[in-house]
Amino acid sequence: MTTEQAERGAIALDVKNNSTIGQFLWIGFYSSIFTLLTLTIFRFWARTIVRKRLWADTTIGGTPLEYTGKGSELFIGFLIAIVTVMVPIVGAIVAAQLLLPPIYTAVVIAVVYLGFFILIGVALFLARRYQLSRTNWRGVRFEQRGSPWAYGFIAFGYGLLSAITLGWFAPAMRLRLEKRMWNNAFFGDMAFTYDNSKEARTEPVYKSYILAYIGVILYYALIFGGMFQLGLMDSMGSGGMPDIRDIGILYALAFGGAILFLLFVAWHEAVMLRQITKSISLGDVKLKSTFSTWDLIGLVLTNLLLVIFTLGFGAIAAQMRTWRKICRRIEVDGTLELARIHQAASRGPRSGEGMADAFDLSGGV
């Protein structure tokens, strides 16, 4: 990049990631040990370390992203969510179970579960808001605006619709939720836009979903078929415990089924990734992904081996590899006049992803 370009602020924004497996295996190893020593409390700092590394290894137009979050923020956010959300929920369920006649217990539990589903959306939104607010590039923060509650309710509504349509609304739901997120996302004062119009949806979203759908049906057929074959359904019905051998067979089935399942859903997942990526733009900059079905299958299988052969320590490295692959498949078209982009309006939340952590939704990185 030349000085003139920098002053004009218009630069090419190629995305690169140069993370190395060794580094992330090491992080995975020592953070597992610290996590054990601290009765798992270190996990918030571990996640922060991973993000800092991952962000720093990711450059856009030659300048790395920077993760500015802190482990203490995640920890405090988690504690707040525990006290304000989890304790009341668990308390309500336990109290209802122990103190109310069964019929009211069922009502209380139903209400709590409904609320819980709404909160999942809220939690995901809050986690995203935190992450964007803690991402700095070229001295400017990202920002997620919009209402977490609106997102929670809408996601819940879409979820219901998906259930009613036996899953047929699910791909549309994912795209609409992405649209909702991205249309409220900012880099500094510049808004991202997400085009979910019919013309923009050029990937075979539903065609690939048919195959994925068949995969889901086959998977469950396999598991339940296996359970019936082993007579597990009967023993469960009578309150008995299935024996170890049967459980082993069931796990083997689930594992083999998962590999088979991967082949059925890989196309759809790759399609969704490409569709979502190409729908996003920032000013004149348009994104595009060349992530292929075989990329996905190869990635999942090699990640699986990585995790198995490192006895789980490699899970973080596996997540890195996914992110690295996504970065390497992104193509950026267009330039940004960076000097005209000003700082984001809000600093973002003080504390971290609380609810998502309390619900265990954060899923590693």
Shortest distance, CB of residue 295 to other proteins, whole angstroms? 27
Q: How far apart are the first and last CA of the chain?
A: 31
CB-nearer residue toward other proteins: 166 or 311 = 311
CB-nearer residue toward other proteins: 226 or 348 = 348
- The rounded distance, in Å, linking the Cα atoms of 89 and 152 is 17
Shortest distance, CB of residue 306 to other proteins, whole angstroms? 17
Residues forming the site for other proteins (CB under 8 A): 1, 3, 6-7, 9, 32, 34-43, 45, 52-53, 56, 63-64, 66, 68, 71, 78, 82, 86-87, 90, 94, 97-100, 102, 136-141, 187-188, 239-241, 336, 338-343, 357-358, 360
Q: Give me the residue label for tokens 């549309």.
A: 172
Q: Within a 10 A sphere around the Cβ of 87, how many other Cβ atoms?
A: 12
Shortest distance, CB of residue 227 to other proteins, whole angstroms? 20
Shortest distance, CB of residue 82 to other proteins, whole angstroms? 5
CB-nearer residue toward other proteins: 32 or 275 = 32
Closest CA to 162 of 154, 152, 172: 172
Please count the residues of the chain: 365
Shortest distance, CB of residue 64 to other proteins, whole angstroms? 7
Shortest distance, CB of residue 133 to other proteins, whole angstroms? 11
Q: Radius of gyration (Cα) for the chain, nearest Å? A: 23
CB-nearer residue toward other proteins: 175 or 358 = 358
Q: Which two tokens stand for residue 11?
A: 């630069």
- DSSP letters spanning 235-296: HHHTT----HHHHHHHHHHHHHHHHHHHHHHHHHHHHHHHHHHHHEEETTEEEEE---HHHH
CB-nearer residue toward other proteins: 8 or 207 = 8
Q: Within a 10 A sphere around the Cβ of 257, how many other Cβ atoms?
A: 18
CB-nearer residue toward other proteins: 126 or 336 = 336
